[in-house]
Amino acid sequence: AQSVTQLGSHVSVSEGALVLLRCNYSSSVPPYLFWYVQYPNQGLQLLLKYTTGATLVKGINGFEAEFKKSETSFHLTKPSAHMSDAAEYFCAVSARTGANSKLTFGKGITLSVRP
Amino acid sequence: DAMVIQNPRYQVTQFGKPVTLSCSQTLNHNVMYWYQQKSSQAPKLLFHYYDKDFNNEADTPDNFQSRRPNTSFCFLDIRSPGLGDAAMYLCATSPQVMSNQPQHFGDGTRLSIL
């Protein structure tokens, strides 16, 4: 069985500061990895995904994430936070083996951006 | 723009009164999913359709049912809503049942129970 751990429930940064949201996974085979963002009263929007190839993945809104197999991690970063980045962020995985697109989500992290 | 549309955005119903939430998509995706998301929690998959093939999660209560009359539409029926069913309900789609393909989400329906 696979699982996702997002440590902490809330991260607060100043506008212009580095954003780092952590995600670790547990799976016998490295899974496919996703980051989604959810703004208040909206659905989830895909930020980026890692399936194969280059381990540093660039997404929308200036976010990127790096898959590190040795650390079983897929941390999300952005060099300079903007007020509009305030939202809930979910890391998710799906099994690489088998034809099943079911996502397993982490608990989510709320990002606050201070002026 | 192709999208996933959920109606209504906000739904209020009475305890025990059946309610139906709807989802439509213009993406022509084969797979449609329903999730329940309670406050400050991750979305929880209730069931999904691959074309007309219905797949229920083992822990989804019998109170929750779904219908998919055609490719574009999918409905979530809650037969006798309880207070614990108050949540955001999210519909999502994906092209195929392939785990490397991301899901596309609607904006959700927030259900309140009186």
Which candidate from A43, A49, A52 shows the least CB-CB separation from B105? A43
Q: Using the structure block, give the residue that is written with the tokens 């785990």.
A: B99
Which chain B residue has its CA at the smallest distance from A52's CA?
B100
What are A57-106's pLDDT values in tens digits? 999 999 999 999 999 999 999 999 999 999 999 999 988 766 556 888 99
Q: Is the pLDDT assigned to residue B1 strictly greater than 70?
A: no
What are B26-68's pLDDT values in tens digits? 999 999 999 999 988 899 999 999 999 999 998 999 999 999 9
Q: Give CA torsion, residues A54, A78, B4, A25, to 10 deg.
A: 60
Both tokens of A70, joined, read 């040795």
Separation between Cα atoms, residue B55 and residue B69, nearest integer Å: 15
3-state secondary structure (DSSP) of residue A10: strand
B residues 39-98 lying closer than 8 A (beta carbon) to A? 40-43, 45, 48, 90, 92, 94, 96-98
Separation between Cα atoms, residue A44 and residue B25, nearest integer Å: 15
Q: Residue A3 burial (CB < 10 Å; 0-12/13-18/19+)? A: exposed
What are A21-50's pLDDT values in tens digits? 999 999 878 889 999 999 988 899 999 999
Helix %, strand %, coil % for chain A, to 5? 10, 50, 40
Burial annotation B49-83 (CB, 10 A radius, 16+ → b, else e):
bbeeeeeeeeebeeebbbebeebbebbbebeebee
What are B65-113's pLDDT values in tens digits? 999 999 999 999 999 999 999 999 999 999 887 678 889 999 999 999 9
Which candidate from B45, B100, B110 shows the least CB-CB separation from A102? B45
CA angle A7, A13, A18 (to 5 degrees): 85
Strand partners, B109: B89
State how beta strands A109-114 and A10-14 pair: parallel
